[in-house]
Structure 1
């Protein structure tokens, strides 16, 4: 048995990400490759879950274990047997099904009974003293609301004060996309096995997963030789994209960025984006905005070059710049529309955000030199669907956006998804609830634009930008909390992440 490969360090999670529907075949192929039976993998999963439980709650003496009628329930039987052997008090509730238990789960159930264990019906009164609840009800195959008696057990566990350890995935959470079609376990910790599934990282996952842990069940090395279709990106990934600068580099080497936006009354949006670009290492940042905004922007940040947006200055800037960012505070009046019509003719790398996306939804086009950064509401307008449809499957939504609009898509939200026309897809495993405030998207646009100007590909700049953005917010949250976080608060921490040789991982 390998040691538990997670501990308290979230950066030990693998960076490979697999579709939920691939899990059964991966498990079988991996077991065959290593000469293991599926029951031996179940024993390893149960042992890993029990070891984690003892690490996190070493004083716990009474466990309540909820077992479903499948292989996830089999893992629960293994945990129960190991806990019983260790002298803990175990109350195990099991849901019966209309079909026989899978072979491996039946073996685990019989071993629990042979060890003197008792199986209780799911509707018995719960013991007065329960210190940890183990959720082994439903696994990664769920794609619909939990039915009775599962739903009632999930709701009862959520009302109980004891912390919940979810085995593989919180019951009720859809592993494919992170949706919650019905009652879903609110776990304090989740231990997932063999490979990471998207539903643990995006959608509603953060409301339910708690602290995510991982165990490869000794299949790690075999799995690393397989080609994972998707990836998880985090602070540990930044050094893959951002190298220390040459000592002889100068501002001309670091990108000339043109930023277009800030109609009357919306100077803040373009100012946040422009300063974020500077803070992310852009060599020169030229802002074209409404004339009323020139004085305030120069006063606030004299390192910017600021000019009035008109046909003459726009032609000059588009010729001068290496990268174009358009949209923050742009508005949807003729002023903004005219700027977008002219800017969209450029073949230089560009990023469209905010009102540029709202205008794009009216006149869709497909191009490969563009990054778009919609939040779910903007994504819904771009695909002419309801926002709820975007949130019902964020991975599919990102892939549909790429297919329709080309280039690279950054679908923002809890578990931001980055997808490219070439089929690349990543989930950014950073960020927190404090980022739900005005201006955060403007800051992200500036960061990604700056990194694009530093010669990263559109996809790499998007991944690195999302990670640096979310990691800076995580750092702020660790110092001040999430409530009251401002977009401009990220500037004081951003340097740690665009210079990864300086950064200390913070979760």
Structure 2
């Protein structure tokens, strides 16, 4: 998923965006049809910008404002001599208000309009395949649940045609508030969204179906400022995290940048701890220690000679290591054996900041051990479902709510991994992290993130800011790796290799931290 620079920070529910639309019309005196025309012009402008050699266009129109936007986009295309056709998937006889005015405007411009009831399935497929671009103006933010006939069949035909799609406001079939998709959903290459940024475009199924997202406000800040609607989340990118970092002073020493202890790597999972330790080193930690199975010590030293590696057999051997550390990362590759549980119990007894990942979360899900103090929990949807006692589908149905539920139960900061990473702190609105790609869907990426989290927490004074910054830098480095390597060949170590360039390019060469060596 690509994000345009124009994207705002505030993310809203579908209900809030509709309320904002009503506010502009009822309180600010903006004519509803004028607002629809502005949306159509903005959508058409982005259409021409994205597909500069556009020759033919097929616009699929529903009822309501979304369909009205589609008819006006078609009218704009017709005026510029682009070959355009509309398919009325919602019967034009049922159009009312501004949508009906838009339909009449398209007819005035002599746009060919065909009712879906008059179009055989084969002919619809031919029209789809013959178009340079398809405009999805089928279903707006007011539709919840799986699309019904004939919309479901049209959406399926659009996806089968594999032609480029511009989605108006959001891909039809996607829940604008949650990012869930209960049925068929349009796969768009470009989504132009209006009035307020919808949270569902950036998490859940949103990143998979929206393509590039462009935001068009349609109103000035002054016009919308008086509206009382509150966002449900905040969108964060790596560039937004720079304010928390300061250059390292010339007299800096390793004691000022945190000592991270990684507790990881049972039999068969030695690489998890090694990758976490290497990632912590690359993310700027002053010192990194790795407590792992003795059998993994040699491999760890060969890979990361800068890391202090200790082979441990019993949990009691962690006591001194924990005392020396500023931050503890526990979970990558610890497994569910007695060894891993011993290690976790020792970590949970400490009041130092902790990052708990992977099987540490699975053990916690049994309620056998409840953490206290400052901690970051990093579940993927499967782990989240076990922590909440629900299905993965229920977690993915509303990722914002799921992250907040985990935070209320377990405290600390919760980082729910997956497409559209969600961070819940309890004290502020959830944060959705921009970035990431399918190449990161491979074993070990979470271990890299855990190491980075430990390093950032060791360098910053704010565990919430550290979590947002680490997640953002992780996804940005992953996107850089994908640019070089593509998706299929990416490895977690490629993200580690690109991390220095992310930090360097953004001028983040140091951190705010005044810890002195003892």
Which TM-score bucket, shorter chain as reference?
A: over 0.9
Which whole-Å deviations, capped at 9, do the CAs of 1:152-202 have from their partners, x for residues lacking one? 221222222431111000111111122221111111211111221121111
Which whole-Å deviations, capped at 9, do the CAs of 1:425-468 have from their partners, x for residues lacking one? 11111111111111100000000111000024221111111111
Q: Find the residue that maps to 2:291 and give its secondary structure.
A: strand
How far residue 118 of structure 1 moved from its aligned partner, in angstroms, is 4.2
Aligned pairs (5 A) from 1:253-264: 253-264=256-267
Pair 331,44 (structure 1): closer, same or farther in 2 beyond 3 Å: same
How far residue 102 of structure 1 moved from its aligned partner, in angstroms, is 4.6
1:448 aligns with 2:449: no
How far residue 400 of structure 1 moved from its aligned partner, in angstroms, is 1.2
User: TM-score under structure 2 normalisation?
Assistant: 0.91
Pair 247,194 (structure 1): closer, same or farther in 2 beyond 3 Å: farther
- Other-structure match for 2:515: none
Alpha-carbon distance between aligned partners in 1 of 2:495 and 2:90, rounded to the nearest angstrom: 51
Greater mean alpha carbon deviation, residues 221-230 or residues 387-396: 221-230
Aligned pairs (5 A) from 1:255-274: 255-274=258-277
Alpha-carbon distance between aligned partners in 2 of 1:404 and 1:497, rounded to the nearest angstrom: 34
Greater mean alpha carbon deviation, residues 344-353 or residues 384-393: 384-393
Pair 491,224 (structure 1): closer, same or farther in 2 beyond 3 Å: farther
Which whole-Å deviations, capped at 9, do the CAs of 1:28-58 have from their partners, x for residues lacking one? 2244565412222111100011111112223
Which whole-Å deviations, capped at 9, do the CAs of 1:300-333 have from their partners, x for residues lacking one? 2111111133445411122221111111111212
1:495 aligns with 2:500: yes
> 25, 32, 36: which is aligned to 2:30?
36
How far residue 101 of structure 1 moved from its aligned partner, in angstroms, is 3.3
How far residue 491 of structure 1 moved from its aligned partner, in angstroms, is 1.8
Q: C-alpha root-mean-square deviation of aligned residues, in Å?
A: 2.1
Conserved? CA contact 2:315–2:339, under 8 Å: no
Aligned pairs (5 A) from 1:230-309: 230-309=233-312
How far residue 359 of structure 1 moved from its aligned partner, in angstroms, is 0.6
Q: Find the residue that maps to 1:174 and give its secondary structure.
A: coil
Alpha-carbon distance between aligned partners in 2 of 1:29 and 1:18, rounded to the nearest angstrom: 15
- Other-structure match for 1:178: 179
Number of aligned residues: 496
Conserved? CA contact 1:238–1:500, under 8 Å: no
- Other-structure match for 1:464: 469
Q: Find the residue that maps to 1:344 and give its secondary structure.
A: helix
Conserved? CA contact 1:330–1:355, under 8 Å: yes
Pair 480,443 (structure 1): closer, same or farther in 2 beyond 3 Å: same
> 328, 331, 337: which is aligned to 1:333?
337
- Other-structure match for 2:322: 318
Pair 383,172 (structure 1): closer, same or farther in 2 beyond 3 Å: same
Alpha-carbon distance between aligned partners in 2 of 1:148 and 1:353, rounded to the nearest angstrom: 44
Conserved? CA contact 1:11–1:236, under 8 Å: no
1:353 aligns with 2:357: yes
1:424 aligns with 2:418: no
Runs of 4+ aligned structure 1 residues displaced above 4 Å come to 31-34, 97-100, 220-227
Conserved? CA contact 1:238–1:497, under 8 Å: no
How far residue 293 of structure 1 moved from its aligned partner, in angstroms, is 1.7
Q: Find the residue that maps to 1:496 and give its secondary structure.
A: helix
Pair 233,222 (structure 1): closer, same or farther in 2 beyond 3 Å: farther
Which whole-Å deviations, capped at 9, do the CAs of 1:95-126 have from their partners, x for residues lacking one? 33699535221222222233333432114234
- Other-structure match for 1:4: none
How far residue 257 of structure 1 moved from its aligned partner, in angstroms, is 1.0
